[in-house]
Amino acid sequence: MARVLLRNLNKFYDDVHAVKDVNLEIRDKEFVVLVGPSGCGKTTTLRMVAGLESISSGQVLIGDTVVNDLAPMDRDIAMVFQNYALYPHMSVYDNMAFGLKMRKVDRGDIRKRVQEAADILGIHDLLARKPRQLSGGQRQRVALGRAIVRHPQVFLFDEPLSNLDAKLRVQMRVELKKLHNRLNTTAVYVTHDQVEAMTLGDRVVVMRGGVVQQVGEPLELYNAPVNRFVAGFIGSPAMNFAPARLRDGDGKLHAEASGFGLELPGALAARLRPHTGRDVVLGVRPEDLQIANGSAPPGLCFDAMVEVVERLGAEILLDLQVGQQTMVASVEPSVTAKRGDKLRFALNPERLHFFDAASEAAI
């Protein structure tokens, strides 16, 4: 069984605490994505699993074995690097065969395995070429091939798509997903791109400042972020935030923000009532801002002025001025709006997020 267990994992660089008490279980055959902004510790964590960084404290287990003291070559893992790390002086075939040669695999077996991987990735005609003769996408495939050939217990990916141009990136994303379905091997994938995280991961781990913020399936993170950071990190365009205060007013719970006020209905009010009088942050995703058509209760509507209209084809992004803050709304392409228009928006109470202003935790 090839699951990966991180237990109380810590990493110190001199005085910098780069990875703080990470606990994570990656199940057998699962594709887990570590995502977060640069410096959040995701790559350091990955490298500790690989054995390329020493572990300050805590344990890494692959399968049932503690691998803290095992050299990278003994952990039965394979890694795909951001810069592909293809050996420039060797042909594609030799690049893929290198690991097997190091393990003294029989030459016939090597040939079989390389052919097999080449078939899966469609790089058959490239086997005799040198890396410098390949395009970015081809190099990436070779890097994948090199990892596949080893039949490892765990695949590690360190931002493998970051160096590809946008179109290629989308294409490779799909291919990676298909590959994972086919190979059915545990994978740990690091990226700063939340779109990659959402589309590739069985589960996503959001990290920030060395600390795990939330672990869950992609939709779980999208619908129920546990704190403001996760809420703002997942989803594009990012969630809109407005500082607000909860106030009790004639039996109803009100959220007062700059430029608008809301009357919160039953279930939502019941949940939030304990926080009355406190400063909170209201969050709503651009796609959840609907132009009011009269059917929504007035307590859940607000006015905004359009500053910029961005027509993307499949949607229109409206940059709005709401009181003191700006918000972004994503609306249907059929909406006609222009700069300077005043529009009324309706909010769906089930799509509203509230966060405590001080702790940033979801409430």
**Distance, CA of 121 to CA of 42 (rounded, Å):** 27
Query: Which of 43-63 are b and which e, b meaning 16 or more Cβ less than 10 Å from the residue's Cβ?
Result: bbbbbbbbbebebeebebbbb
From candidates 75, 113, 139, 208, binder to other proteins by CB under 8 A = 75
| Residue 215 backbone phi and psi in degrees, to 5 | -125, 130
Q: Looking at residue 133, what DSSP letter applies?
A: G
Q: How many residues line the site for other proteins (CB under 8 A)?
A: 41
Is 103 an interacting residue with respect to other proteins (CB under 8 A)?
Answer: yes
Nearer to other proteins, 71 or 312 (CB): 71
Closest separation in Å from C-beta 139 to other proteins: 12
Q: Provide the sign of the torsion angle of the four alpha carbons 148, 169, 33, 55, taken in this order.
A: positive
Closest separation in Å from C-beta 309 to other proteins: 39
Under 8 Å between Cβ of 114 and 97: yes
> Could you give the string, one character per residue 137-156, with x where binding to other proteins holds by CB under 8 A and - elsewhere?
---------x---x--x---
Is 51 an interacting residue with respect to other proteins (CB under 8 A)?
Answer: yes
Nearer to other proteins, 147 or 280 (CB): 147
Closest separation in Å from C-beta 190 to other proteins: 14
Write out the E strands in the chain: 4-13, 16-26, 31-35, 57-62, 65-66, 77-80, 154-158, 186-191, 203-208, 211-216, 240-249, 252-257, 260-264, 279-284, 289-291, 301-311, 316-322, 325-331, 342-347, 352-356
For other proteins, which stretch binds (CB under 8 A), given 85-93, 160-168, 187-195, 262-270?
85-93
Is 5 an interacting residue with respect to other proteins (CB under 8 A)?
Answer: yes
**Of 262, 291, 247, 292, nearest to 353 (Cα)?**
262
Is 50 an interacting residue with respect to other proteins (CB under 8 A)?
Answer: yes
Closest separation in Å from C-beta 353 to other proteins: 22
Nearer to other proteins, 43 or 240 (CB): 43
For other proteins, which stretch binds (CB under 8 A), given 18-26, 228-236, 247-255, 270-278?
18-26
From candidates 46, 48, 77, 300, binder to other proteins by CB under 8 A = 77
For other proteins, which stretch binds (CB under 8 A), given 46-54, 111-119, 280-288, 311-319?
46-54
Is 99 an interacting residue with respect to other proteins (CB under 8 A)?
Answer: yes
**Distance, CA of 330 to CA of 319 (rounded, Å):** 9
Under 8 Å between Cβ of 149 and 157: no
Nearer to other proteins, 90 or 183 (CB): 90
Place of tokens 């959040």: 40
Q: Show the tokens assigned to 75.
A: 């952990």
For other proteins, which stretch binds (CB under 8 A), given 22-30, 36-44, 260-268, 274-282?
22-30
From candidates 12, 13, 23, 348, binder to other proteins by CB under 8 A = 23
From candidates 1, 57, 83, 339, binder to other proteins by CB under 8 A = 83
From candidates 64, 106, 125, 165, binder to other proteins by CB under 8 A = 64
From candidates 10, 17, 29, 98, binder to other proteins by CB under 8 A = 98
> Could you give the string, one character per residue 264-303, with x where binding to other proteins holds by CB under 8 A and - elsewhere?
----------------------------------------
Q: Is 244 helix (H, G, I), strand (E, B) or coil?
A: strand
**Distance, CA of 19 to CA of 209 (rounded, Å):** 8
Question: CA distances (Å), 211 to each of 68, 206, 207, 239, 348, in order?
Answer: 20, 9, 6, 22, 32
Tell me how long the chain is.
Answer: 363
Q: Which residues bind other proteins (CB under 8 A)?
A: 5, 7, 23-25, 50-52, 61-67, 70-79, 81-83, 85, 87-89, 98-100, 102-103, 146, 150, 153, 215
